Structure 1
Amino acid sequence: MKLFATLTLAALLPLSATAQAAELELDIGPASRSWQSAELLAHPQARQIEIAEDVSYKRAMHYRAVPLAVLLSGVQPGDHLQAVALDGFAAELPAALLLAQSGAQAWLAIEGPTQPWPALAAGKPSAGPFYLVWQNPEASQVGPEQWPYQVAAIRKLAPVAERFPALLPAADADASTQAGFALYQKHCMACHRLNAAGDSAFGPDLNIPHNPTEYFAEGFLAAYIRDPQSMRRWPQGKMPGFSETVLSEAELQQLLGYLRHMATRKQPDAAL
């Protein structure tokens, strides 16, 4: 309950107060603790970094940040972590990716109360108070959903397949469908539930009452995933587009195959 109390309190505070009183909850086992912004800004391994192509700001950005791995004491490469944002976005993250010493490097950027970051868009807040950013993300195929901003907590949890069996393909599903399930976890689960299964409270369920493969005409769902605004002009829409550099054509077809497969495995009672 402490996690959600923290989320609720932070969500009610003005932006300036949130930046000044920000607290990050780490629920990672014996080393669990909370960090105040001031503590992280003064951390001995904090430094100024440049993110050449920031996913959220769409330009180069500079942050004071701490290598995320140094905050994850006791976490092992085989563990599974989840970063929860103030708006209910819940990014599922393999610990091995966050702990890696080569390839992409994960940083926790900290917004300073006297140096607030710019707004993400007109009328919107900044990406603070805490933002998971990456240097060299292409080296480890880090996707845009693995850049959670306004992070309030990082938790160690059981893998997705154990927590949410309602997401699993049939035991005899082919390798392409299984690959689609892995892509769903990486690219979709941070915002969406499916069969009412998942921790995100951000986007709509993708199977109940209807799966998008059931109501999008042939080819239109793929186009929507590539560029949502090209299909439905909605300035307030938050879904990002997934270019071929993020989700190859082969991977897109695997993801669509998983969704089509899950349309035959609805669990409507799960929504009750």
Structure 2
Amino acid sequence: MRLLLATLLLVIAGAPRAATLTIDTGAGPRALTTEQLLSRADVREVRVPDDVSYHRETRYLAVPLKALLPGVAADAHLQFVALDGFAAEIPAEAVVDGRGAEAWLAVEPPGKPWPALGAGKAGAGPFYLVWTSPAAGHIGPEQWPYQVATIRVLADPASRFPAMRPADGLARDAPERHGFTVFQRNCITCHTLNGQGDAKLGPDLNLPHNPTEYLRADMLRTLIRNPQDLRRWPQSKMPGFDRAVLSDADLDDLVAYLKHMSMRKAPH
């Protein structure tokens, strides 16, 4: 009996464990396991010609994301929280009506782990948001969160984090206002500002000092375009933002927003 029990314990210990995804659309969280997702009738093999994370063509078993979000309106806001603290903010419209782009939740099969994302790094599993025809919906690289643990419907960042907002008196077409939009799309996934935000990867971008206070404008632009061109650091997790993702005009407005917020520091 003892031998049988020991054998069973070894089998259980060695068996691949199912991952669990938590989805909360406002009616309370619900948990979906890997097996539940892979047993759905709408699971498909999806071909991704240019995977943002793996930088090559990939194929996944995946579920249409909008099928997992019944009742979510196009004007809602989605947050994807990863195991490492990355928090992607994506308008629900991109998922519900991507204008040609289609969002898929790729599911890592138990016992068949996806490749590592680099030397010493884990893979993109257990859950990864991938897109087909992303250019049609103007989907950027920050909207491909991997290692996803939780999907939530929340208010948009401007509502949740008032200390991030630029001054109310700015003109509607002010560069600082558009820069805040750029910040929400590209920076809020990793950084807080004025102590507000859900991301846990990068430093706060206003406290105690804003990068416009210690970097020349050209050096700040270099850092954003390709961090390794400014500081060679193998462990850096910050991606670069080339012109296909962040135009020169958007970059200028982002810098204008950061400079503006350097004069709007929250007490700390």
8 Å contact kept, 2:194–2:204 = yes
| In 1: Cα distance, 2:169 partner to 2:27 partner | 39
> Which runs of structure 2 are paired with 1:52-91 in the superposition (5 Å)?
52-91=49-88
Which shifted more, 211-220 or 18-27? Answer: 18-27
SS at match of 1:243: coil
Structural RMSD (CA): 1.6
8 Å contact kept, 2:142–2:185 = yes
In the alignment, structure 1 residue 231 sits paired with structure 2 residue 224: no
8 Å contact kept, 1:49–1:63 = yes
How far does the alpha carbon of each residue in 1:161-194 deviate from its partner, in whole angstroms, 9 at most, with x for none?
A: 1111000000122422111101100000000000
SS at match of 1:149: coil
How many residues align? The count is 254
TM-score by length of 1: 0.90
In the alignment, structure 1 residue 257 sits paired with structure 2 residue 230: no
Task: Look up the equivalent residue of 1:246 and give its one-letter code.
Answer: V
The aligned residue for residue 10 of structure 2 is none
Match of 1:25 among 22, 27, 39: 22
| In 1: Cα distance, 2:34 partner to 2:128 partner | 12
How far does the alpha carbon of each residue in 1:12-69 deviate from its partner, in whole angstroms, 9 at most, with x for none?
A: xxxx989632000001123742100011111111100111111111111110001100
Structure 2 unmatched runs, 5+: 1-12
Task: Look up the equivalent residue of 2:166 and give its one-letter code.
Answer: P
The aligned residue for residue 93 of structure 2 is 96
SS at match of 1:20: coil
Structure 1 unmatched runs, 5+: 1-15
Task: Look up the equivalent residue of 2:91 and give its one-letter code.
Answer: P
User: How far off its partner does 1:102 sit?
Assistant: 2.9
Match of 1:134 among 131, 138, 162: 131
| In 2: Cα distance, 1:52 partner to 1:94 partner | 24
Percent of aligned pairs with the same amino acid: 53
User: How far off its partner does 1:107 sit?
Assistant: 0.5
SS at match of 2:217: coil
How far does the alpha carbon of each residue in 1:75-109 deviate from its partner, in whole angstroms, 9 at most, with x for none?
A: 10011110000011111111111111532111100
| In 1: Cα distance, 2:248 partner to 2:242 partner | 9
Task: Look up the equivalent residue of 1:156 and give its one-letter code.
Answer: V
TM-score by length of 2: 0.91
8 Å contact kept, 2:175–2:253 = yes
| In 1: Cα distance, 2:199 partner to 2:16 partner | 23
The aligned residue for residue 209 of structure 1 is 208
The aligned residue for residue 192 of structure 2 is 193
8 Å contact kept, 1:66–1:108 = yes
The aligned residue for residue 181 of structure 2 is 182
User: How far off its partner does 1:230 sit?
Assistant: 1.0
8 Å contact kept, 2:98–2:137 = no
